Chains A and B, each alone.
Chain A
């Protein structure tokens, strides 16, 4: 396993474009710290400081930070897609196989790298959240700090699932740009399917089915935190009280998709004549 990760990391790290993208994808989420110190002046009457609003209280911070950080996953998605695209365009995939890498090992080396990257990213987010949290949070008791840590786990699963989808699309269309385009097409298709379902059944049923679609199920892992934040400010508003927790079923669905995407990528490579 170590050998396969080393192999892939060498390919990525020596490529300037992917090196830059990897660095960007690690650095950009750190700017959430900047957000925390943001002061919005209201015409000199008073200053709104986000950090003082209780946004960075444990355990809410886990939800907030993982939600925002996961928006930056797109940068590494480009890396994933191009690491497949380059292997095809340089024909190095063929050469790798001739040199004695099995097709299974090839897919695994990509998958391990995805898991490895997601893990590092999760750890970075963990450390960053702890720093911001201990600085701003009103509660720093260990019991409260460790509550809702499942958001971090959901973040990890979300990244692995999303990058596996990118890996599969890369294998399917062989070219990076087209793979990213097909990601967008998939996004549109999911919404078209949703609207169709809604038209021919109820909104509730349509939403329930949509939650099983690949992109939606990944998005659903970490719900948007705005309503929840609003709810903490206006506790009486019943409309804002929703279910924000990370559910085991949601994780299972994404893990299911991950398995399907990796399996399909392998089958695709196995069937193909290079």
Chain B
């Protein structure tokens, strides 16, 4: 796989505070990556360092094969961090022209990219008249101007209304479908879950996990069960070797699996024991549950 960004033992200290601690990961071409972590976990700092606006304290990083300077590499990268930053007194079109000049891209792309984010009819309006959602979409158009190898988005849906969030996510999905590598930093877990294939989890500047989203923790999932013979069901579950811990909330029993086991297999087993289930669902932990489990484990 072709690496796009390689980070080795990166550390950033702001005075006494260590914002990023010994961080290493690699971003390969064609995947959609999420950087996940609560506020203040070092996501934006890490992105700031690789984008040349924050100075690193230690470690190193390189773009692509390592033979391009960061300055040249950034011309093949599209990035938005935190808030959309444009000149308020210029129109959308003028702002994008400026970006074209910086990136050394032909101006013919402007219309095409404005079309993608649905701002073509507002292109002659000044940036300061835009709503937050429009500003964010303009930022995406700007980041796409050079047809980047990788698109970096830092909290792209922060502060948007549900409609705006939906629009931005749809745009991201469309871009990802075209094969552009995406790096998405977010503290919204369902956002990462919906969009990303790979994830890097950060907490207090340290990497807790990096890899595929669905392999984040070794889990075989769990059953949610209800039955009239509540007590009998519990007894069976406790004696069965495939079942790990069991959690009871009123009627609902949650049984975590130690070994893989299908729902029909389990249903048959219950039937044989003379227990008729009124409710049977097999689920895997959501990213949120996995994330909390991961961060909790580290704390203990």
Residues of A that sit less than 8 Å from B by CB: 3, 6-7, 10-11, 14-16, 86, 90-92, 94-103, 270-271, 273-274
Q: Are A94 and B81 in contact (CB under 8 A)?
A: yes
CB distance from A203 to the nearest CB of B (A): 47
CB distance from A105 to the nearest CB of B (A): 8
In order of increasing CB-CB distance, the 3 nearest A-B pairs are A95-B85, A100-B75, A100-B74
Give the secondary structure class of A's interface. helix
Q: Are A90 and B53 in contact (CB under 8 A)?
A: no
Q: Are B51 and A90 in contact (CB under 8 A)?
A: no
8 Å CB contact of A273 from B54, B75, B88: B54
Contacts of B104 in A (CB 8 A): 3, 100
Q: Are B85 and A97 in contact (CB under 8 A)?
A: no
Q: How far is the CA of A10 from the CA of B83 in the complex (A)?
A: 23
Count class of interface residues, chain B: 20 to 34
Q: List 24 A-B contacts (CB under 8 A).
A: A3-B104, A6-B101, A10-B94, A14-B89, A90-B86, A92-B87, A96-B102, A97-B51, A97-B52, A98-B52, A98-B53, A98-B80, A99-B99, A99-B103, A100-B71, A100-B74, A100-B75, A100-B77, A100-B102, A100-B103, A273-B14, A273-B53, A273-B55, A274-B53
8 Å CB contact of A7 from B52, B74, B98: B98
Beyond the given A99-B102, A273-B53, could you list 16 further A-B residue pairs with CB under 8 A, ordered by the A residue number? A7-B98, A10-B97, A11-B98, A14-B89, A86-B87, A90-B87, A92-B85, A96-B102, A97-B52, A97-B74, A98-B51, A98-B80, A98-B81, A100-B103, A100-B104, A273-B48
- The reply on B79 being an interface residue by CB < 8 A is yes
Contacts of B77 in A (CB 8 A): 100
Q: How far is the CA of A200 from the CA of B220 in the complex (A)?
A: 85
Known contacts A14-B90, A90-B85, A92-B86, A98 near B98 by CB under 8 Å: no
CB distance from A103 to the nearest CB of B (A): 8
Known contacts A98-B51, A99-B74, A90 near B88 by CB under 8 Å: yes
Q: Are A14 and B94 in contact (CB under 8 A)?
A: yes
Q: Are A7 and B94 in contact (CB under 8 A)?
A: no
Q: Are B87 and A94 in contact (CB under 8 A)?
A: no
Contacts of A7 in B (CB 8 A): 98, 101-102
Q: Are A91 and B83 in contact (CB under 8 A)?
A: yes
Contacts of B51 in A (CB 8 A): 97-98
CB distance from B280 to the nearest CB of A (A): 51
